[in-house]
Amino acid sequence: MSDTVHIVEVGPRDGLQNEKTPISVADRITFVEALIAAGLKAVEVGAFVSPKAIPQMVGSADVLRGVSHHTECELPVLVPNEKGYEASQAAGAKLIAVFAAASEGFSRANINCSIEESIERFRPVLARAKADGVRVRGYISTVLGCPYEGEIKPQAVVDVAKVLWDLGCYEISLGDTIGVGTPVKARQLLRAVAGHVPMANLAMHFHDTYGQALANLYAGMEEGCRVIDSAAGGLGGCPYAPGATGNVATEDVVYMLEGMGIATGVDMAKLVAATNVVSGLIGRLPVSRVAAALNAK
């Protein structure tokens, strides 16, 4: 597999949205700057969501403004509805991400509406984004299991993926929100969704709760998927996914890819330095095995 992989770093958003310690805007900018300095070409910097639901993401407009001179890097932000869209545009966002779920229970818990209602909320967002020349990514959560409904059939994911794709999302990111997937299931899921959305437009967003994320990514790569979401240090989690831990660690992904002969353009020492910055801020060591190994040297 000697070709290219696009890494979408989600640490400053997914990584920090569940942290108890509030991180200031200035510190979040420092973290994003360190990630960009490490060579990452896409960094999700924040979310324009309800401050009551996710207080950790308050100040996302200032984080985005603080790093938007990095035109060499994609800087996506989450947007759940038109209100969020307007705030994202006031802050100058050029790339946004809407987020749906494959299960009704998670949709309700996360964004307080059914899957169908969420699509109706996204419809005007996508129409306005198209008119404004803003690119839209589409997340689907709970693709390999739901904390409220258990197993999720690939068809449920396909149904939502088709709608998001038809609405104009340029990429569909498949979220194993609670990290319960295993490689064969991840492979079957990618195969099923790729029957309706081109594989080139699919991304894998795997949390690592059960330690399967790297194996699942490898299985997805064997199917041809070449976009990987990850978080520096293995940060992350969603307040509406009880017990779920962080995203697959960017260091571990980069180590695996480089070991496969796939150049990532990421400087590992600088990436670990970025992780150490955020570890200091949240007061915890990174769960990334690679970061731990390199820090021990």
Q: Does 49 bind ligand HMG (CB under 6 A)?
A: yes
Q: Does 81 bind ligand HMG (CB under 6 A)?
A: yes
Per CB under 6 A, the list member of 5, 23, 54, 221 interacting with ligand HMG is: 54
The least distance separating ligand HMG from the CB of residue 32, rounded to whole angstroms, comes to 17
SS3 per residue for the chain: CCCCCEEEECHHHHHCCCCCCCCCHHHHHHHHHHHHHCCCCEECCEECCCCCCCHHHCCHHHHHHHHCCCCCCECCEECCCHHHHHHHHHCCCCEEEEEEECCHHHHHHHHCCCHHHHHHHHHHHHHHHHHHCCEEEEEEECCCCECCCECCCHHHHHHHHHHHHHHCCCEEEEEECCCCCCHHHHHHHHHHHHCCCCHHHEEEEEECCCCCHHHHHHHHHHCCCCEEEEEHHHCCCCCCCCCCCCECEHHHHHHHHHHCCCCCCCCHHHHHHHHHHHHHHHCCCCCCHHHHHHHHC
Nearer to Mg ion, 9 or 14 (CB): 14
Q: What residue 111 binds from Mg ion, ligand HMG, none (CB within 5 to 8 A, per partner kind)?
A: ligand HMG
Nearer to ligand HMG, 78 or 268 (CB): 78
How many residues make contact with ligand HMG (CB under 6 A)?
A: 25
Q: Does 58 bind ligand HMG (CB under 6 A)?
A: no
Residue of minimal Cβ distance to Mg ion: 14
Kindly identify the residues of this chain, within the stretch 225-244, that bind ligand HMG according to CB under 6 A: 238
Q: Which residues pair with 74 in a beta bridge?
A: 42
Distance from C-alpha of 225 to C-alpha of 246, rounded to nearest angstrom: 21
Q: What residue 83 binds from Mg ion, ligand HMG, none (CB within 5 to 8 A, per partner kind)?
A: ligand HMG
Q: Does 181 bind ligand HMG (CB under 6 A)?
A: no
Q: Does 141 bind ligand HMG (CB under 6 A)?
A: yes
Place of tokens 């987020």: 99
Q: What residue 110 binds from ligand HMG, Mg ion, none (CB within 5 to 8 A, per partner kind)?
A: ligand HMG
Per CB under 6 A, the list member of 177, 209, 264, 275 interacting with ligand HMG is: 177
Q: Does 80 bind ligand HMG (CB under 6 A)?
A: yes
Tell me phi and psi for residue 138, to 5 degrees.
Answer: -125, 120
Kindly identify the residues of this chain, within the stretch 12-71, that bind Mg ion according to CB under 5 A: 14
Nearer to ligand HMG, 78 or 219 (CB): 78
Per CB under 6 A, the list member of 9, 12, 14, 30 interacting with ligand HMG is: 14
Q: Which residues form the interface with ligand HMG (CB under 6 A)? A: 14, 17, 47-50, 53-54, 78, 80-81, 83-84, 87, 99, 110-112, 139, 141, 175, 177, 205, 207, 238
Q: Which residues form the interface with Mg ion (CB under 5 A)? A: 14
